[in-house]
């Protein structure tokens, strides 16, 4: 199944997407006419650091023995076609990622059972202030500023996806990242086992699974797109924060 969250008359609604038609509250709407919202309402966003072999190579890092984790606050979340406001920094990067949305409250989930707690998958852009990241310990400024977490456009159930998934990031139409989930160092089930070994996940929580090679800077006026096979394109605009 495929779902969208959208804004109508000042309220947020969920709908099921069938073709280009959105079914919600007994009514049909055209997807193209809707203002989409991020397809999750997380209590937290848990992100995996270096988790693609090609990205580890590009950063000159050795492969981690356990997933490197950090958090983004829900206040950083924006949806498709919203604007990323760059903080005052010499270098702010895109990071195209596959996101997992959690279905039910869970803890101590074994990898073999992880599929039971996954609602679906969508695209994520982990916007990162590299200057702050280079000097601060826990990346609160580097990764937690407003608009630093782009999510969408639609949420897709795991059974509908053509694994392994290709992931591509484009800036102004030019391809900057192109990889697939076979490059993941830690699989989604392994990541879920690791996180839930110490933390309760709630329905709507987001796990961002890491970015492949090809990270690079954004500048005001850019249009950045993250496309994942079977999901679609997450597009965001880039501006300087006031």
Binding mask 56-95 for Mg ion (x = CB under 5 A): ---------------------------------------x
* Residue number, 6 or 94, with CB nearest to Mg ion: 94
Q: Which residue number has the CB closest to Mg ion?
A: 126
Closest CA to 125 of 211, 186, 61, 60: 211
Task: Provide the minimum distance between the beta carbon of 102 and Mg ion in the complex, in angstroms, as a whole number.
Answer: 18
Q: How many CB atoms neighbour CB 192 within 10 A?
A: 26
Beta bridge mates, 163: none
CA–CA gap between residue 47 and residue 57 (Å, rounded): 19
In the complex with Mg ion, the residue whose CB is nearer, 29 or 72, is 72
Question: Which 8-state DSSP code applies to residue 193?
Answer: H
**Nearer Cβ to Mg ion (126/129):** 126
Find the shortest distance in angstroms from Cβ 55 to Mg ion.
9
| Identified binder of Mg ion from the candidate list 24, 183, 211, 236, rule CB under 5 A | 211
| CA atoms within 13 Å, Cβ hemisphere of 198 | 5
Nearer to Mg ion, 95 or 194 (CB): 95
Q: In the range 117-156, which residues lie near Mg ion by CB under 5 A?
A: 126
Minimal distance in Å, beta carbon 93 to Mg ion?
9
Nearer to Mg ion, 15 or 38 (CB): 38
DSSP 126-191: E-EEHHHHHH-SS-HHHHHSTT-EEEEEEEE-GGGS-SSPEEEEEETTEEEEEEEGGGBSS-HHHH
Select from 24-32, 83-91, 210-218, 225-233 the region that touches Mg ion (CB under 5 A). Answer: 210-218
What's the helix, strand, coil split of the chain in %, to 5? 20, 45, 40
Question: Contact between 51 and Mg ion (CB under 5 A)?
Answer: no
Considering the complex, state which of residue 22 and residue 205 has its C-beta at the smaller distance from Mg ion. 205
Q: Are 212 and 158 in contact (CB under 8 A)?
A: no
Q: Least Å distance between CB 137 and Mg ion?
A: 17
Count of residues that bind Mg ion according to CB under 5 A: 3
Helix (H) or strand (E) segment spanning residue 53: helix 53-58
| Binding positions for Mg ion, rule: CB under 5 A | 95, 126, 211
């Amino acid at each position: 199944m495929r779902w969208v969250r959208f804004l109508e008359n000042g309220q947020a609604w969920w709908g099921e997407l069938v073709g280009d038609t959105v079914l919600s509250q007994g009514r049909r709407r055209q997807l193209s006419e809707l203002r989409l919202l991020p397809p999750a309402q997380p209590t937290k966003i848990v992100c995996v650091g270096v988790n693609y072999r090609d990205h580890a190579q590009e950063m000159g890092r050795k492969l981690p023995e356990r997933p490197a984790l950090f958090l983004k606050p829900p206040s950083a979340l924006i949806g498709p076609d919203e604007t990323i406001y760059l903080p005052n920094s010499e270098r702010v990067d895109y990071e195209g990622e596959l996101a997992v949305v959690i279905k039910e409250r869970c803890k101590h989930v074994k990898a073999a059972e992880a599929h039971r707690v996954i609602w679906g998958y969508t695209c994520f852009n982990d916007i990162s202030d590299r200057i702050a990241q280079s000097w601060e310990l826990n990346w609160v400024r580097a990764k937690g500023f407003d608009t630093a977490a782009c999510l969408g456009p639609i949420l897709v159930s795991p059974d509908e996806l053509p694994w392994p998934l290709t992931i591509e990031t484009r800036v102004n139409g030019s391809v900057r990242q192109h990889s697939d989930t076979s490059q993941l160092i830690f699989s989604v089930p392994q990541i879920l086992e690791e996180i839930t070994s110490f933390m309760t996940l709630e329905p709507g929580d987001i796990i961002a699974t890491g970015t492949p090679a090809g990270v690079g800077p954004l500048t005001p006026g850019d249009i950045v797109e993250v496309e994942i096979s079977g999901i679609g394109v997450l597009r965001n605009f880039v501006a300087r924060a006031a």
